[in-house]
Amino acid sequence: MLRQRVITALVLVAVLLPTLLTESVIPFSLFALALATAGAWEWARLNGWQGTKAFAYAAVLPVSAGLSGIPMDLSPAPGVGWAWLTVLWIVACLLLMPQGPKGWTHLSPGLRLASGLVVMFSTWWALTTARAVGVNFLLSVMCIVWASDVAAYFAGHRWGRTKLAPSLSPGKTWEGVAGACVGVWLLALLWMLLERQFPLGSPSVFARALKDFGPTGLVLVVGALVALGVVGDLFESMIKRAVGAKDSSNLLPGHGGVLDRVDALLPVLPAAMAVLALGGR
């Protein structure tokens, strides 16, 4: 299992790095589109569509992306639609997650499938736009999720006592969430110190939050992004538990599926773009 995880991670990094280092946003956008399309296929299977129907559902993503022309005509900053999408994420989670896995199955199949297309298309769009803002900005957003996972694991393992959502993810604790916030706050501080010493080409999400909202705003923004990452993780757990699945698929040997790897990013990405939209630009 460990060997599979390492090999898969190395292959993904080998594909990802060249797309980040090219001047054009299009190679990375295509990479992100491939991930989003795979995620859409997994979403369809988790919601009862198999075989040809699942492939046809996933094909809606590249077709929609091609028609949108987003990589060819990116605006300098995203619109407030990102803020509304973040609000929808919060409302959906507040309504569904307290019910446990049954909360998802109570929705109509059509609504569940339609929401998947919205989520995966907006994820691709947010990744593409974040890359257009700058590699430093994109990586700072992604590292929020990665650092949060690591800090939550160690804090939860050491101090975890109070279960966060036992019906969705028994291993998560409130102490782990608190540790995640502290860990990412420290990451934000170190990242901004690094930005002052070296030209990184574009401001990080931390620098943008500090500039537009001040120190208190930075603390709140980082805390909110960490919380949304936890929400994304729990939301995918809810869907998988509703259908009795351990992983979203086996597309990534040793890692499960694409949704298993990007679940926390699904609500974090639009929220990070909203930080740009609502700030002073």
Q: What is the dihedral of CA 166, 226, 260, 252, to 10 degrees?
A: -140
Q: What is the pLDDT of residues 72-89, one digit of tens each?
A: 555 544 567 888 899 999
Write down the pLDDT at residue 279.
73
Percentage of residues in the chain having pLDDT higher than 70: 94
Q: What is the pLDDT of residues 85-119, one digit of tens each?
A: 999 999 988 888 888 888 898 889 999 999 999 99
Read off the DSSP letter of residue 256. B
Per-residue pLDDT at 2 exceeds 60: no
Question: Using alpha carbons only, what angle is made at residue 44 by residues 100 and 84, rounded to the nearest 5 degrees?
Answer: 65
Region 183-187 average pLDDT: 96
- Cα 216 to chain centroid distance, Å, stands at 24
> Is 234:96 a contact under the CB 8 Å cutoff?
no
Give dist(CA 54, CA 56) in Å, integer: 5
Write down the pLDDT at residue 76.
45
Q: What is the pLDDT of residues 8-20, one digit of tens each?
A: 777 888 888 888 8
Q: What is the pLDDT of residues 200-238, one digit of tens each?
A: 888 999 999 999 999 999 999 999 999 999 999 999 999
CA distances (Å), 59 to each of 44, 47, 66, 93, in order? 11, 16, 11, 27
pTM above 0.75, yes or no: yes
